[in-house]
Structure 1
Amino acid sequence: MGILEGKNVLVTGVTMNTSIAYSVARIAAEQGATVIVSNFGRAMSLSNRVIQKLEPVPPLIELDVTDDDHLAALPDKIREHVDHLDGVVHSIAYANPETAFADGFLTTPWSDVSQALQVSAYSLATLTTACKPLFGDSASVVGLDFDNSVSWPVYGWMGVSKSTLQSVSRYLARYLGADGVRVNLVAAGPLDTLAKRAIPGGEQFNQVWDERAPLGWDSKDYDSAAKAVVALLSDWFPRTTGEIVHVDGGMHSTGA
């Protein structure tokens, strides 16, 4: 038996087989979970293609976390496949690559800043709230993070969004703990995902990690972060909430 045997899990943001969310969906199923995945818009065709490699092929539902109608309809969409949820994985982030990254921090318009914050951070709260009617006596929500306790070159407003995501997760942990809902984040090091490739100059992160991560770093090792997510979805962390689990080769613990 796997550590997610009998559990139902929604994994958002499964777009490519090089995404952490894809590895989460695969490993969760291997560990016994019934998995549902989501995406929206033009990315749906990419998701539909890539999930055919999973066994079993999970249901794919459309979910735009910035669309109130999508969020309101989410419980009914989930109930078409399972009667409840035990876990939710938030793998959603976006910032305008032309304005919000690199050296544009001081000139990024509010419209792009607000979009980054809504998609990348506020959506953790709205997604969790939308799924809450499906939770039983306990549930686990896990978001994917990049540690932003310090500033980074080129990361710009996505860094601010990640700081906001961390704060949102702590407040969700506070307000949902009485309902048996745990809310945690997994802060992965830089992986060669579609999202990272969209960051101008994002390859700089790999060099920093290569030089400083005590355990070393493999930018194509998606499974290490995914295994941490799956562990937090399981019953093996029953009293852990509001936490950030670092899967970054130890980079967060090192100085200059």
Structure 2
Amino acid sequence: MGILEGKSILVTGVTHKTSIAYQVAKIAQEQGATVVVSNFGRAMSLTKRVSQSLDPAPAVIELNVTDDEHLANLAYTLRENGIEKIDGIVHSIAYANPETALGGGFLTTPWPDVANALQVSAYSLASLTMACKPLFSDDVSVVGLTFDARISWPTYDWMGVAKAALESTSRYLARYLGSEGVRCNIVAAGPLDTIAKKAIPGSNTFNDTWSDRSPLGWDTTDAVPTAKGVVALLSDWFPKTTGEMIHVDGGVHSTGG
């Protein structure tokens, strides 16, 4: 019996096999969960294609977290796809305009681009959670993904600000939903060679930092350790952990320069 036996998990942001979300979906299934994955727009074709390599192929739903109608209909959409209850949500959603909000132009980024980054990357953790709430079981785990935003990173700019907001949003969700049996936590991953990372100008410098400083070593092509951290938080093995940020980064967060 797996650690997610009998649980139903919504995993957002599945695009390629290199994505953390894909590995989470794969391991969650191996651990007994029923998984539903989501994406939207042009990315839907990628999600549908890559999901066919999961066993069994999960239901794929369209979900744009900035679309009020999608959010309002989410519980109905999940029921249409055979999900009567939700035990876990994986928030693997982030976006910032690489031409204005990333790459070193922090001081000149226009507000509309900042607002978009904050809505997609941070506010959506709350809006997604509340959209799923009508289907919540008695014991729910919400897990978001970040790149440790307690400090500034070169070229990460407004995405760093958005991730800081995401981390804080998780803590407030933990505060307000804990009495209803909902745990909200964040996994802070080291750099991984995903499509999202490649969109960040100069992001390869992160690889050099981890190569020099990781006590445990770090493979930027292997999302499995991060995915295992997410799955562990989705399980019942952290029954009294909420509002926490778990680092799966080879130990870099604990080292000096």
* Alpha-carbon separation, structure 1, partners of 2:138 and 2:18: 34
- Residue type matched to 1:59 in 2? A
- Could you tell me how far apart the structure 2 residues matched to 1:244 and 1:93 are? 17
Amino acid of the residue matched to residue 226 of structure 1? A
Match for 2:235: what amino acid?
Answer: S
Deviation for aligned residue 1:185: 0.5
Cα separation, 1, equivalents of 2:150 and 2:217: 20
Residue 66 (structure 2) pairs with residue 66 (structure 1): yes
- Could you tell me how far 1:102 is from its partner in structure 2? 1.5
1:196 alignment partner in structure 2: 197
Q: 1:33-67: per-residue Cα shift (whole Å, max 9, x none)? A: 00000000000000011011000000000000000
Map 1:25-36; keep pairs closer than 5 Å. 25-36=25-36
Please say if 1:21 is aligned against 2:5: no
Partner residue in 2 for 1:86: 87
The unaligned stretches of length 5 or more in structure 2 are none
- Partner Cα distance (1:149, 1:142) in 2: 18
Q: Do the aligned partners of 2:23 and 2:227 also contact (CA within 8 Å) in 1? A: yes
CA RMSD of aligned residues (A): 0.5
Does 1:177 find its partner at 2:163?
no
State the number of aligned residues: 256
Give the SS at the match of 2:73: helix
Q: Which amino acid aligns with 2:48?
A: N
Partner of 2:11: 11
Counterpart of 1:166 in structure 2 is 167
Once residues 217 and 16 of structure 1 are traced to their aligned partners in structure 2, the CA distance between those partners, rounded to angstroms, is 20
1:1-256 to structure 2, matched below 5 A, reads 1-80=1-80, 81-256=82-257
Q: 1:137: Cα distance to partner?
A: 1.2
- Ranges in structure 1 where 5+ consecutive residues have no aligned partner: none
Cα-to-partner distance string for 1:176-200 (whole Å, 9 max, x where unaligned):
0000000001000000001000001
Q: Structure 1: how far apart are the matches of 2:50 and 2:103?
A: 31
Contact kept? 2:104, 2:156, Cα under 8 Å: no
The sequence identity of aligned pairs, in percent, is: 70
The alpha-carbon deviation at position 138 of structure 1 amounts to 1.4
- Deviations along 1:196-254, one digit per CA (max 9) or x if unpaired, are 00001110100000001111110011000000000000000000000000000000001
Q: TM-score, normalised by structure 1?
A: 0.99
Q: Is the contact between residue 102 and residue 201 of structure 2 (CA under 8 Å) also seen in structure 1?
A: yes
Give the residue type in structure 2 aligned to 1:198. A
> What TM-score does the superposition give when structure 2 sets the normalisation length?
0.99
- How far is the alpha carbon of 1:82 from its aligned partner? 1.4
Please state how far the C-alpha of 1:90 moved relative to its aligned partner. 0.2
